[in-house]
Structures are given as structure tokens and as C-alpha cells.
A and B are shown apart, each in its own frame.
Chain A
């Protein structure tokens, strides 16, 4: 079984962020933090990426773009929402054009809060994402297509909610 966790390639998408979190994402690649020592490459290509970093709240214009980027990534893949805007919409939540966090459009696995998020927390989130990336591969979901994976995940979620409500009763 391949050790996928040794080579996580990142893709960073800025969905209407104020650039605060984006600068911190790039700071992770500088000599001070140097995430490349873990094998991380900041690639610009969704077809080659494993982990999607989203910064900023999603608005009506970039929602389809984010969806398309997510669909172009091959399984297994992990999505990390960086910063409070990408997690929930942040201070812009009530704005007329903001839909909310990245999870309104694509399934988000890991939430990294902060405004702006510090590089240490980003690295922490990425390390968690790398663990999940390996876990997803080990569960052998690599043969599922993106839409199948989304369906499976939705079914699992529904299932767990139903059992939760049953337990609650």
C-alpha cells in the first residue's frame, strides 16, 4: 500500500478573500516554515493537486468556479477551509452576495479558524489533512468518481443523522 501522506500537493483557491489568509498560506512556503520538507508542493493545477485550500467566503460569482476546481481534482482529495471567512462567511456572512463558507458549495473536511490564520495553524490543518488524505486512500475510495464520492458521503451523513435522531429519541 502506497504511503500517499509523504507527497501531498496543495492547490490554493482564493474565493473573495481579503488576501490576509493568502499571504499566510504563501508564508508557509518561505524558508521560515518551509513546508516542502514534508513533500508539500504548491501546485497551481487542480488535476495534479491532492489538498484544496480555500480562503475567503464564497460569493455567487465564484461558487461555480470553486465547484469546477473541486470536480477536476482526482480522488482521494481533501478540502481545507482556511480562515473564518472560508469556514462560515465570517464578518461578510450577512452580505447580499456572500453565500457563506466554502461548505455551501463543496464538502469541506477540515476547518482552520483565524483572521488572518497564522502559518502555524495552517500547517497544523494541512498535517491533519494529510492524515485524512492517507485514510481516504486506505479506505479504497480511489476508484469512485467525484460525484459518486459526494453521493456516498451524503448518504453516510444522512445515515449518521438518522441514527443520531433515533438515539436522541
Chain B
């Protein structure tokens, strides 16, 4: 008998780039409509990646490709672990390790823009890391387990116990997805004071690898949003999908209505929201139990 967990993990590996790419296409279309433009086709991200893969690759440093592929493989493996239903804390720690490979891929080039982008990427990681780890901890306090499989099969949705953690997680999602106002390291928008920041020295195939990894990562992060909602009831699945789509729309809205902030302000905002929202939630839960 084939385990459902294996199917779920395999489905993530195969389908996540398509879902992620389609979501990015929707993002660009909705953003264009918000700016009263027609906007590109929803399949535009796929056309872009197909083009990037077929262009000549100019390698600035030989090790950059290796580091980017490591980043891709680690992210895919982390996502597969999450959808397989294993340890949530382990997933978050592995995700940070993958982030370090991205940081190194930006650092190995001699370009000052790329290096500065990498420094900012590290700053972004520093901003969202406490909230990520606290989210893992929050799930343990609420459900008594780190295992995703058991959290999914619990009687009540985790968000009932963890509304503060949910707010903190959605807040750092903006940083994780590199959306304005927190698109410090590299931006999806044309204007960027560091040329393209972290991805300045990534052309053709290397940029395609980065792009595909972003899609995997976005699907994984939206999966964590869904984990807040899903419980043992079947009806929680459509509700989780609606919440995920609404969260994604909220990210697009924030992206289009805010200007980039300084790094120190990002750090301050992210940590204060994490501390106030998730911290207070944690104290209340610990007092009640």
C-alpha cells in the first residue's frame, strides 16, 4: 500500500513549480490591474524561465552555480519534508540552511551590488528567523507535537490557539517573499538602488534556478499558512485554500501600496510584531494550560 504522505511529498516536488509560477503570474496580472495596466499573461513567468534556460550562460564564478543548485535542492528537500508530514522545527531550520547557500551565492561574486544584496539578504533572514522558530514552538505548545502529520490530524485548527502567531507569520511572509516594503535584497520591480541586488550577477540559467527555487519556497510558506487552518475535518481544506489565496492577495496589495523601508526599520518592525503578537499569544496559552 502506498502511503499518502509519499504521494503528498511527490506532488509537492512535481507540482510546486507550476503552482508557484502560476501564482507569480497572477501576482503580476493583479499588480498591473491595480496600476490600471493590462499586464502580461498569467503564464509570463513560465515564458521567462524558458527563455532564461535557453540563453547562453556567462558564469562569473564557477562556484555560483554549485551554490545555487544546493539552494534549490535543499529547498525542495525541505518542502518535501514538510509535505511528508515530518518535524516542523526541522523544516524551519533546514530552510535557514538553504538561505545561507543563497547568501553565499550572492557573496562569491566580486560585484559590490551583489555582495551588498547578500548582506541585506542576511539582514532579512535575521528579521524573519525569530518569528519562524516561534511559529514552530507555538505549534508545539498548542498541539503538543512538532510533527506536521499530527498537527493536520488534530481536532481543532491551530489558528484557534495561535491567532497571534498567525499574524506574526503573515507579517514575516512579506519579508520572506521579498515584497515591498521589505524587498531589500532584490526586488521584483524594475527600480532597485542596487541594480538587481542579490541577483545582479545571476544571468540566464542561474537566474532560472533562483526563480524556480523562489516558487518552491513560496508554495512551502503558503503551506505553513494552510497548516494554521487545517484540522482533521475535510471541510477545513477548502477554507485553508481560501485563507491562503486571501493571504497571497494581501501580500500583493501591501506590495503595491508601500514604499521600501530601511533595513533597521524592517528589523525593528519584524521583531516588535513577532514579540508583541506571538509573545503575548504564547504567554496567554501557557497561562491557560
Q: Which residues of A contact B (CB under 8 A)?
A: 2-4, 6-7, 9, 29, 31, 34, 36-39, 41-45, 47-48, 50, 72, 74-76, 137, 142-145
Contact = CB atoms under 8 A, between A and B. Distances in A.
A36 B50 contact: no
Contacts of B204: 47, 74
A132 to B, nearest CB: 15
Interface of B: 28, 32, 35-41, 44, 47-48, 50-58, 60, 190, 192, 195-196, 199-204, 207
A39 B53 contact: no
A119 to B, nearest CB: 14
Contacts of B39: 34, 36-37
B56 A142 contact: yes
Given A36-B39, A47-B201, A142 B196 contact: no
Contacts, number: 90
A2 B47 CA distance: 9
A4 B56 CA distance: 13
B58 A74 contact: yes
Nearest to B191: A44
Nearest to B190: A42
Contact of B55 (A41, A74, A145): A74
Contacts of B52: 48
B218 to A, nearest CB: 19
B192 A44 contact: yes
B49 to A, nearest CB: 9
A70 B195 CA distance: 16
B47 A3 contact: yes
A133 B241 CA distance: 41
